[in-house]
Chains A and B, each alone.
Chain A
Amino acid sequence: MIETDILVIGAGPAGLAAAMKLKRGGFKGRVVVLDKAKSAGNHVFSGAVIDPAGFDGLLTESEIAALPCESRVNKESFRFLLGSGASVKIPWVPPMMQAHGYPVGSLSKVVKYLAQLAEADGVEIYHGFAVTELIRENGRVVGARTGEKGVDSQGVHKPNYLAAEEIRAKLVILAEGARGFNTTRLIESQKLASARPQVYALGIREVIELPEPVPGSGGEIMHTFGYPVDMVTYGGGFVYHPNDRQVMVGFAVGLDYKDAALEPHELFRRFKATKVVQRHIRGGKPVAYGAKLIPEGGFYALPRPYADGALIVGDGAGLVDGLRIKGIHLALESGVAAAEAILLGLDGVGERYDEILKRTRGYAEVKRVRNVHGGFSYCAPIGVMMAGFAWSTFGRIPWWPVGRVHADSDTLRAIVNRKSQTVNFPGSPDRLTDVFLSGTVHEENQPCHLKLGDSAKCEECAKKFDSPCTRFCPAEVYRREADGSLRIDFSNCLHCKTCEVKCPMSNLTWTPPQGADGPRYV
């Protein structure tokens, strides 16, 4: 058995900020961070345009200047897309969306950089270890268990079998990101959830390498709304230029969508094929791909971010500014808040963390835009109106929770008459080609980490919804065989967890596969 003072689960921005801030604040004890990715930054995934306010109180000026982001935002625009060709440029960028001077780059690189700084501060970081269970004693979280390795697909131990290991801690910080495996279970068992269910958007993104550098394009960003989603579906696109050779193109769709026939990856391809986006990427070659959930429930869906023996930080605590789809600065701020609470002692640390968190700038922002998502639950114009109110009244009006929110698994309508349509997007990778670009690798000879419940439910689902998992999974992990059974190619999985939240029968569970497996985001 291993013992540490603080155990952090997840080496994303939230977990690393907490660990680093502890050491920088003079914490003498042992701080251990575990991450399931093979190497630092491999499992974090983002745009990313980063609100640098998150680094305040964490990094020094010179460390911020040395962030591995080649550009800062110098040109931004906001467009409403009417179709694949026509679009309207919104004459001014909504003030809450403005990002002038923000660093643009790869979150994986930023996380790698933070990990190096944290190690130099004395934080111990171990990669390739998935936490599969929290250890609880009398209700209190007292540590965690890592997953076993070297088990074959039949559950038999291989010669290189490695048993699960236990690590005990005085306090555990859960920094697993959106829909974290252990976080979700803790929220459930300790009844930490808020009255409104947490809902998510699925963000899909490619990096496109341009045939020739376009001098001066680094630092340009564009956000869009409208096409290719309809008025009742929540979605938006982005185009970021981290430097003059590459373009990051992404699309996020609210998983509370109702049309069972919808395929997020196809929306993404439609978005890429629009005239406005083509202007940015023409002739370019996709070189990287990924997908991940974004918690979008906002203020009303925030869980209580602590339990006995554990604090929850970052996306796992639902801390994302749903209007700007930005969560990195909130992840950093919440990590810092957790560390500040711990530095004052472990007695009453949960409540103290909650208080400090509520005083952060990021939290105030989440509160201010609290009704935007609810507004969108009616339709896009009401959502936009709510965003306007949120800004002009500093979030004071409307003061009541707007809209009705259902869990993402409950929103699909039965398919009545499915028109099958295949659209051709020349030069745009299909799902399996994109999976290759994500670099995801899983040991094939291990138990399938996507646990399917009752296959009878799948049959019902097939009739009613035409098996939506075959479409919503951004990695085409699910396929229907000729005999109607569901095939699960788990080795393509990107760990996005869409299947767990969107399966209309709640029939799928994502569990951590063998440590070090999964995407290789760089």
Chain B
Amino acid sequence: MNIVVCLKQVPDATNVRIDPKTNTLIRDGVESIVNPFDEYALEQALLLKDRLGAKVTVISMGPPQAKVVLREALARGADRAFLVSSRAFGGADTLATAYTLSLAIRKSLDSATPDLVLFGKQAIDGDTAQVGPGVSEFLGLNLVTYVREIELKSGVEVEERKFRAITVMDDGEHVVEGELPAVMTVVKEADEPRFASLVGSMNASRAEITVLDEKAFAADPRQIGLDGSPTKVVRIFPPPVKGGGRRLDWNGGASETLSELLKELKS
């Protein structure tokens, strides 16, 4: 059974600052991390590996530095890693990225169809949540989004191709049943990601990472990179700064504070 997990390297949003003059990210001192949702997707894959002995392949599309996130995934227990990287992919929007990744996924499995492809719910830099669903379209696979738990019967390869997934929706949790192969996007309500062990990190630091460029799979040049991206970013700007709220201090008791608040709201 083949599970593919797609991981994205993103800037650590906990200390991102916007330059007020140029409206661009201040990259100075900002670390790169694995997109947090993707870590949960990886954990689901590794749990299935623990239970069913699946083979876990991790793929990241990005600049050469993105190898770091692949090594982190290998350190936690992934089996193989591929970096999809080329100048030709630069400027890709979600459509072009989904197209490119779908080719890379097939290539990484020697054209075989994966049983399960996992993504994080969304990437914290763009927040679009479109790449996972896009890949499911390009690969023609079933899609389940916002998954917190995946159940597969053991020995799926032969007899059973069924899955049961619990998804987290606005109106509660849904239980979705369907057939593999499928693409799923995973939320943070899923199992906590595991830590990389020191032994795992040591092995990962020596592991081979295959780099795939547009020549590695026959990509249509009109569907990759900037040319393949119908999205045009007109302008990036931070939302207007909100004025601070007012704090009502607890002086005396609840009724006093409440009446003060009501007075404030009326005026």
Contacts and interface: CB of A to CB of B under 8 A. Distances in A.
| Chain A partners chain B | yes
Contact of B198 (A39, A129, A520): A129
A439 B198 contact: no
Interface in A120-164: 124, 126, 128-129, 146, 149-150, 158-160, 162
Nearest to A126: B201
Interface stretch (B54-62, B187-195, B213-221, B243-251): B187-195
A165 B205 contact: no
B198 A126 contact: yes
Nearest to A150: B195
B202 A126 contact: yes
Given A160-B193, A162-B194, A165-B197, A439 B202 contact: no
Contacts of B173: none
A138 to B, nearest CB: 25
A126 B43 CA distance: 21
A307 B69 CA distance: 39
Given A124-B205, A520-B15, A522-B29, A165 B198 contact: yes
A159 B191 contact: yes
B14 interface: yes
A372 to B, nearest CB: 35
A38 B14 CA distance: 14
B31 interface: yes
Interface residues of B, number: 19
B29 A158 contact: no
Contacts of A482: none
The 7 A-B pairs with the shortest beta carbon distances in the complex, nearest first, are: A522-B29, A162-B195, A160-B194, A149-B195, A165-B198, A160-B192, A126-B201
A469 to B, nearest CB: 27
Nearest to A108: B29
B113 to A, nearest CB: 31
A182 B43 CA distance: 33
B199 A165 contact: yes
Contacts of B194: 150, 160, 162
B64 to A, nearest CB: 14
B190 to A, nearest CB: 11
Contacts of A210: none
A439 B17 CA distance: 13
Contacts of A150: 192, 194-195
Nearest to A162: B195
A162 B198 CA distance: 10
A150 B31 CA distance: 23
Interface in B6-49: 14-15, 17, 28-29, 31, 43
A414 interface: no
A154 B151 CA distance: 30
A159 B192 contact: yes
Q: How large is the interface on A (under 10, 10 to 19, 20 to 34, 35 or more residues)?
A: 20 to 34
Contacts of A2: 198-199, 202
A149 B192 CA distance: 12
B202 A158 contact: no
A160 B44 CA distance: 12
Nearest to B47: A159
A509 to B, nearest CB: 25
Contacts of A128: 196
Given A39-B31, A439-B14, A520-B15, A146 B198 contact: yes
Interface in B161-206: 191-199, 201-202, 205
Contacts of B29: 522
A359 to B, nearest CB: 36
Nearest to A127: B201
A34 B201 CA distance: 11
A462 interface: no
Contacts of A129: 198
B186 to A, nearest CB: 15
A160 B43 CA distance: 10
A46 to B, nearest CB: 15
A129 B201 CA distance: 11
Contacts of A158: 192
18 contacts: A34-B198, A38-B31, A39-B31, A126-B198, A126-B201, A126-B202, A159-B192, A160-B43, A162-B195, A162-B197, A167-B198, A287-B17, A439-B15, A441-B14, A520-B31, A522-B28, A522-B29, A522-B31
Contacts of B192: 150, 158-160
Nearest to A149: B195
Nearest to B198: A165
Contacts of B31: 38-39, 520, 522
Interface in B86-110: none
Nearest to B206: A124
A128 B76 CA distance: 13
A457 B191 CA distance: 42
From B14, B15, B191, B198, name the one whose CB has the most chain A CB atoms within 10 angstroms.
B198
Given A160-B43, A160-B194, A522-B29, 18 more contacts: A2-B202, A38-B31, A39-B31, A124-B205, A126-B198, A126-B201, A128-B196, A146-B198, A149-B195, A150-B195, A158-B192, A160-B191, A160-B192, A160-B195, A162-B197, A167-B198, A287-B17, A439-B14
Interface string A104-130: 000000000000000000001010110
B75 to A, nearest CB: 9
Nearest to A167: B198
A463 to B, nearest CB: 30
Contacts of A146: 198
A124 B202 contact: yes
